[in-house]
Amino acid sequence: MRTAQASQPFLFVVGSPRADATDPELVSRAIGGDGDAATAIWSRYIVLVRTILRRGLGTNDVDDISQEVCINLYRSLSDLRDCKSLRSFIIGITLHIAGTELRRRRARAWLRLTPT
């Protein structure tokens, strides 16, 4: 029986990611509505996103929060000024969402309901 390693993300993507395309090409195609380009961007950077989240937040909820990063990335991809800085853009989104999650966790720990 094979067991899945915690460090290897499960990728459920549809399409055929092109490994030879550059980041600016992928960004412009993804903004134009190309689903394969969006898949290629995410499959290229999913390991980086998960590593940042795992180091900052621990192993709990990494899958859910990385999905939130993915959604925010595609919503704000048209705001990217320089297509060459896609990696930095993704890191910024990841850190922003990780900070939001840390604030949520702090608030939940402080504001617990009592039995009464």
Regions of the chain with pLDDT less than 70: 1-19, 113-114, 116
CB 53 within 8 A of CB 65: yes
Q: Rounded to an integer, what distance in angstroms lies between the CA atom of residue 114 and that of residue 11?
A: 40
pLDDT at 18: 55
Whether this model's pTM surpasses 0.85: no
pLDDT at 116: 66
pLDDT at 61: 85
pLDDT at 106: 81
Task: Report the Cα–Cα distance between both ends of the chain, in Å, rounded.
Answer: 48
CB 42 within 8 A of CB 48: no
Q: Rounded to an integer, what distance in angstroms lies between the CA atom of residue 31 and that of residue 79?
A: 10
Integer CA distances (angstroms), 78 to 4, 49, 59, 61, in order: 35, 20, 31, 27
pLDDT at 4: 45
Q: Rounded to an integer, what distance in angstroms lies between the CA atom of residue 60 and that of residue 54?
A: 8
pLDDT at 113: 67
pLDDT at 91: 96
CB 83 within 8 A of CB 24: yes
